[in-house]
A and B are shown apart, each in its own frame.
Chain A
Amino acid sequence: MNYSPTQLGSDSMHEVSTHPVAHQHTAPTGFIRKYVFSLDHKVIGKQYYGLALVSVFIGMVLSWLLRIHLAYPDYHIPFLSKLSAAGAPGGVMTPEYYLSLLTMHGTLMVFFVLTNAPFAAFGNYFLPIQIGAEDMAFPRFNMMSFWTTFAAFVVMMASFFVADGPPISGWTAYAPLSAVGRDAGPGLALGQDLWAISIAIFCIASLLGALNFIATTLDLRARGMSLMRMPYSTWAWFVTSVIALLAFAVLLPACVLLILDRVAGTSFFIPAGLVLSDRLQPHSGGSPLLWQHLFWFFGHPEVYIAILPSIGIVATILPVFTRRPLLGPKALIGSMVAIGFLSYMVWGHHMFVSGMNPFSANIFSIPTLIITIPATIMTLLLTASLYGAKMRFDTPALFCLGFISVFISGGISGFYLAQPSLDTYLHATYFVVAHFHFVMAVASLFGVFAGTYFWFPKMFGRMMSESLGRWHFWLTFLGVYCVFMPMHYLGLVGNVRRYSAFVDDYLAPLLPVHRFITIAALLTGAAQLIFLWNLIWSRFRGPVASENPWEATSLEWSTTSPPPFDNFGGKHPVVNHGPNELGVDGPDGTDFLMQTAAPKSS
Chain B
Amino acid sequence: MGVGVQDAIHAGQKLGGSGLPPITRNTRLPNVTLSERPERSETGVWIGIFAIVMTFAALTSAMIVREGVALDWQHFQLPKILYLDTLILCFSSWTMENALAKLKEGESRFSEGMTWLCITLGLGGIFVVGQVIAWRVLAWQGLFLATNPSSSFFYVFTAAHALHLIGGILGLGYLIYKLNRARSARTTGIRATSLYWHFMDGLWVYLIVLLLARM
Indicate with 1 or 0, residue by residue over A272-287, a CB within 8 angstroms of chain B CB atoms: 1000000000001111
Closest chain B residue to A298 by CB distance? B58
With A and B bound together, what is the CA distance between A265 and B155 in angstroms? 13
- Say how far B207's CB is from chain A's closest CB, in angstroms: 14
Residues of A within 8 A of B152 (CB): 260, 266-268
Q: Is A370 an interface residue (CB 8 A)?
A: no
Is B55 in contact with A253, judged by CB distance below 8 angstroms? yes
A214 within 8 A of B: yes
Tell which of A18-26, A173-181, A524-532, A537-545 binds the partner: A18-26
Inter-subunit contact A253/B62 (CB<8 Å):
yes
B111 within 8 A of A: no
| Chain B residue contacts of A294, Cβ below 8 A | 58, 62
Residue of A nearest to B43 (CB): A215
Q: Which of A242-250, A391-399, A484-492 contacts B (4 or more CB under 8 A)?
A: A242-250
Would you give the shortest CB distance from A492 to chain B, in whole angstroms?
A: 36
With a cutoff of 8 Å between Cβ atoms, the chain A residues found around residue B18 in the complex are: 21-24, 133-134, 220
A32 interface hit (Cβ, 8 Å): no
In contact, B1 and A266 (Cβ under 8 angstroms): no
Interface centre among B12, B19, B25 (most CB of A within 10 A): B19
- Interface membership of A222, Cβ < 8 A: yes
A442 to B62 alpha-carbon distance, docked (Å): 34
Interface assignment of A138: CB less than 8 Å from any CB of chain B: yes
Q: Could you tell me the distance between the alpha carbons of A248 and B51 in the complex, rounded to whole angstroms?
A: 8
The verdict on B54 contacting chain A, using a C-beta distance below 8 Å, is yes
Contact B21 A572 (CB under 8 A): yes
Give the residues in chain B near A266, CB-CB below 8 Å.
145-146, 149, 152
Q: Tell me if B66 and A17 are in contact (CB < 8 A).
A: no
Complex Cα distance, B2 from A134, in Å, reads 22
Q: Check B145–A264 contact: CB distance below 8 A.
A: yes
A285 lies within 8 A of B149 (CB): yes
Q: Check if A290 is an interface residue, CB within 8 A of chain B.
A: yes
Residues in A whose Cβ lies below 8 Å from that of B146: 264-267
Tell me if A418 counts as interface (CB < 8 A to partner B). Answer: no
Residues of A within 8 A of B40 (CB): 137-138, 215, 219-220
Residue of B nearest to A288 (CB): B69
Interface size on B, residues (CB 8 A): 45
A223 within 8 A of B: yes
Do the beta carbons of B23 and A22 come within 8 Å of each other?
no
Expressed in whole angstroms, the minimum distance between the Cβ of A226 and any Cβ of chain B is 12
Q: B70 near A: Cβ within 8 Å?
A: yes
Given known contacts A245-B51, A249-B54, A266-B145, A137 and B43 CB-to-CB distance under 8 angstroms? yes
Please, which residues of chain B bring their CB within 8 A of the CB of A134? 18
Residue among B13, B20, B66, B73 facing the most chain A CB atoms (10 A cut-off): B20
Tell me if B52 and A249 are in contact (CB < 8 A): yes
Once the chains are docked, how many angstroms separate the CA of A305 from the CA of B181?
A: 43
Cβ of A218 under 8 Å from chain B: yes
B26 in the interface, Cβ–Cβ < 8 Å? yes
Contact call A22/B13, Cβ cutoff below 8 A: yes
Shortest distance in angstroms between A130's beta carbon and chain B's nearest beta carbon?
A: 15
Given A285-B149, A290-B62: A22 in contact with B12 (beta carbons within 8 A): yes
Q: In the docked arrangement, what's the CA distance between A7 and B1, Å?
A: 8
Q: Does the CB pair B19–A246 fall under 8 Å?
A: no
* B156 interfacial by beta-carbon distance below 8 Å: yes
The answer to whether B4 has its CB under 8 Å from any CB of chain A is: yes
Residue in contact with B24 in the complex, picked from A8, A17, A220, CB distance below 8 Å: A220
In the assembled complex, A257 has its CB within 8 A of some CB on chain B: yes
- Of the candidates B5, B21, B50, B69, the one whose C-beta lies within 8 Å of that of A290 is B69
Q: Are B156 and A284 in contact (CB under 8 A)?
A: no
CB contact list, A208-232 vs B, under 8 A: 210-211, 214-215, 218-223
Residues 1-34 of B contacting A (Cβ, < 8 Å):
1-2, 4-6, 9, 12-13, 16-26
CB-contact partner of A1 in B5, B47, B50, B59, under 8 A: B5
Distance (whole angstroms) from the CB of A207 to the closest CB of chain B: 6
Q: How far is the CA of A264 from the CA of B4 in the complex (A)?
A: 60
Known contacts A138-B44, A285-B70, A290-B69; decide if A211 and B51 are in contact (CB<8 Å): yes
Nearest to B39 among chain A residues (CB) is: A219
Decide yes or no whether A321 CB sits under 8 A from chain B.
no
CB <8 Å contact, A252 and B72: no
Q: Is B65 an interface residue (CB 8 A)?
A: yes
B69 adjacent to A250 (CB under 8 Å): no
| B167 close to A (CB within 8 Å) | no
B44 touches A211 (CB 8 A): yes
User: Which residues on the B side are within 8 Å of A23 (C-beta)?
Assistant: 18-19
Are B65 and A246 closer than 8 Å at their CB atoms? no
Report Cα–Cα, A488/B21, bound state, in Å: 57
Asked if B71 CB lies within 8 Å of chain A CBs, one says yes
Asked if A293 CB lies within 8 Å of chain B CBs, one says yes
Tell me if B202 counts as interface (CB < 8 A to partner A).
no
B-binding residues in A (CB < 8 A): 1, 3, 7-8, 17, 19-24, 133-134, 137-138, 207, 210-211, 214-215, 218-223, 245-246, 248-250, 252-254, 256-257, 260, 264-268, 271-272, 284-287, 289-290, 293-294, 297, 572
Top 6 closest pairs, chain A to chain B, by CB: A285-B70, A22-B19, A265-B146, A223-B23, A249-B54, A22-B13
Could you jot down 27 A-B contacts, CB within 8 Å?
A: A3-B21, A3-B22, A17-B21, A21-B19, A21-B20, A22-B12, A137-B44, A219-B25, A219-B26, A219-B40, A220-B20, A245-B51, A246-B51, A250-B58, A253-B55, A253-B58, A260-B156, A265-B145, A265-B146, A272-B70, A272-B72, A285-B66, A285-B71, A287-B66, A290-B62, A294-B58, A572-B23
